[in-house]
Chain A
């Protein structure tokens, strides 16, 4: 089974600072990768996704992620964070090597706290 590992459970940063949330994946064949965001007391929503093509993926709210096959990573970055970016972020990956979107496997999440 495929898996994703989020290396940091909590990341505190100051407003306007850059941030990187790390995600590593295991995959033997095709790679689809996703980042979801969960704001307090809400469900998850898609932030960005990599299916194929350019390794730099841009998402909503100024976030971007880079697919790195050699390092099996898909780290999420933002050059300048806002208070409103405080949320929990989840990396996700299909559970089957064939890819597709059934049965996404989620990482354990990274809580980003942006302080004034």
Chain B
């Protein structure tokens, strides 16, 4: 979706390797999210950030770290990747407050061997 850009779109890692998924927005909104999507599981919230410099855990934060150094960017880091982290990761941005409209990036497909 326009306004939310994720990189990379695809990545293959070996168990134990580290990597960072990047997310950037140009809509000047505050709240940003990282979700993972797995077959039959829907989307599960990993971390979210209500504003620059603040982050909070979601439903499945273990094995991940996040960073929100500025309003525009929200990154997700895997310090030591595990096969269970094979998933599609989505960054999302909250539109106007209390409307529930999330704008999603196109996703990053991560495979951990």
Contact A44 B42 (CB under 8 A): no
Within 8 A of B (CB), among A26-83: 32, 34, 36, 41-46, 49, 51
Residues from chain A with a CB closer than 8 A to the CB of B42 are 6, 90, 106-109
**Known A43-B104, A51-B99: A106·B43 in contact at CB below 8 Å:** yes
Smallest CB–CB gap between B68 and chain A, Å? 15
Residues from chain A with a CB closer than 8 A to the CB of B58 are 103
Inter-chain CA distance A90–B106, complex, in Å, is 16
Residues from chain B with a CB closer than 8 A to the CB of A49 are 99-101
B13 sits at the interface (CB 8 A): no
Inter-chain CA distance A51–B35, complex, in Å, is 23
Query: What 0/1 pattern do residues 72 to 106 of B give for CB contact below 8 A with A?
Result: 00000000000000000010101001111110111
Contact B94 A102 (CB under 8 A): yes
Within 8 A of A (CB), among B18-72: 31, 35, 40-45, 48, 50, 58
Residues from chain B with a CB closer than 8 A to the CB of A107 are 42
Could you say which interface size class chain A belongs to? Answer: 20 to 34
Contact B100 A43 (CB under 8 A): no
A92 sits at the interface (CB 8 A): yes
Q: Which of B48, B50, B104 contacts A44 (CB 8 A)?
A: B104
Q: List 6 A-B contacts (CB under 8 A).
A: A9-B40, A36-B102, A42-B106, A43-B105, A106-B35, A109-B42
